[in-house]
Amino acid sequence: MKKGLFIVVLAGLFVLLVSSILKMPSLGSVDNPSYNETATYYLENSVEEAHAPNVIAAIITDYRAFDTLGETTVLFTSIAAVISVLSINHQDKKKGGDING
Amino acid sequence: MLILNVILVIFLIICAVAVERTKDLLGAVIIFAAYSLIMAVLWLMLQAPDIALTEAAIGAGVTTILFIGVISRTRRMEK
Amino acid sequence: MDDIIVKTITRLIVPFIQVYGIFVILHGHISPGGGFSGGAVLGSSMILFTLSFGLPMASRKIPHKVTSILETSGILWYIIIGLAGIYLGGKFLVNKEAGFFMGQAGELISAGIIPLLTLGIGIKVASTMITLFHTIIEED
């Protein structure tokens, strides 16, 4: 009974997802809604405004440099968390006289 | 080119299912590295070379080594 | 691991990987790549060195203190570049309006703050990879 319900729900979800995939615009088509005026602006003006032929570098370190600062902060926070969790053992071992790294 | 794309995507799906089905965690990590490598080739075929570079370096290299480092400190088989 | 083949191959191949990583970082504004991918390549070269020569040797090459300083200075460098934009009369992290050296598009020294920020991100990511790996395999 429960298994049949699961199968019905999953089949409904499958039909929904596949039909939504079939409705999507094809890959690389010009009518794709992600090719809006923002992308056109970047492609036309990034060489002139940032002097960088690599448009992605111009976007992530010039137009969206503040987002990249946030991304770098995420890396910094994660490494701080990892060190603070994993180096507790290290401190205990050092007390025993064995110096390691 | 289309045939190669289809073969790579099918292999990608097989790898993704195999990662979930494998009980041996070390084997699962190796299959996951193969998944990342196929994904890097697919990014290259989607005209995104910088993502391909990052995926090949982080997904197939660093992540695998970090997972193996964690497995060597815990148990190898999934319960 | 005490294998002479692995050690010899590592000693031969690590400088090439590092040169490639530095190339990817420095040409971040011209060719595909940038700070994250170049930093990952640089960090994985040191991970390879650690795997084949052991942690004590790698800690002598690049100690934990040095990676901590590099990691902190990477993000501080980023913020200092951003504050220099304010000092030169613009907004935070502004590029062209602050009057940085723009040069000719397509040359190595051009594009204002973009290579400087890419350098900071690359150093940060590389030291993050090295620190993470050394912390995980420590005290074995």
Both A58 and A72 in one domain: the answer is no
User: What pLDDT does A100 receive?
Assistant: 47
**Closest Cα in chain C, distance from residue A100 (Å):** 6
Q: What angle do CA A57, B38, A39 make, to 5 degrees?
A: 30
- CA–CA dist A88, A83 (Å, integer): 9
CA distance to A26, B70, B76, per residue, from A19 (Å): 14, 41, 41
Give bridge partners of residue B77 from the DSSP assignment.
Answer: B24
Quote the ipTM score.
Answer: 0.78
Tell me the average confidence (pLDDT) per consecutive run of 10 residues in chain B, 79 residues long: 89 91 90 92 88 88 87 82
Both A48 and A73 in one domain: the answer is no
Tell me phi and psi for residue A36, to 5 degrees.
Answer: -95, -165
Is pLDDT larger for residue B39 or for residue C95?
A: B39
User: For the residues of chain C, what is the DSSP string, one character each?
Assistant: ---HHHHHHHHHHHHHHHHHHHHHHHTTTTSS--HHHHHHHHHHHHHHHHHHH-HHHHHHHS-HHHHHHHHHHHHHHHHHHHHHHHHTTSSTT--TTTT----STTSSS-STTHHHHHHHHHHHHHHHHHHHHHHHS---
Residue A25 maps to a domain:
no
| pLDDT of A101 above 50 | no
Question: What is the residue extent of each domain of chain B?
Answer: 2-71
Both A78 and A52 in one domain: the answer is no
C137 touches chain A (CB under 8 A): no
Q: Mapped to the 3 state alphabet, what secondary structure does chain A carry?
A: CHHHHHHHHHHHHHHHHHHHHHHCCCCCCCCCCCCCHHHHHHHHHHHHHHCCCCHHHHHHHHHCHHHHHHHHHHHHHHHHHHHHHHCHHHHHHHHCCCCCC
| pLDDT of A6 above 70 | yes
Residue A49: domain span: 34-63
Residue A17 maps to a domain:
no
C33/B73 touch (CB, cutoff 8 Å), yes or no? no
Residue A6 maps to a domain:
no
Residues in C 38-97 with any Cβ partner in A closer than 8 A: 55-56, 59, 64, 71, 74-75, 78-79, 82, 92-93, 95-96
Residue A91 maps to a domain:
yes
**Closest Cα in chain B, distance from residue C58 (Å):** 16
Residue A85 maps to a domain:
yes
Overall domain count for chain A: 2
Residue A96 maps to a domain:
yes
B54/C24 touch (CB, cutoff 8 Å), yes or no? no
Question: What is the residue extent of each domain of chain C?
Answer: 4-136
Give the pTM: 0.80
If you measure CA to CA, which chain A residue comes closest to C104?
A51
Question: Mutual orientation of helices C114-136 and C35-53 as an angle, nearest 10°?
Answer: 30
A72/C113 touch (CB, cutoff 8 Å), yes or no? no
**Closest Cα in chain B, distance from residue C140 (Å):** 9
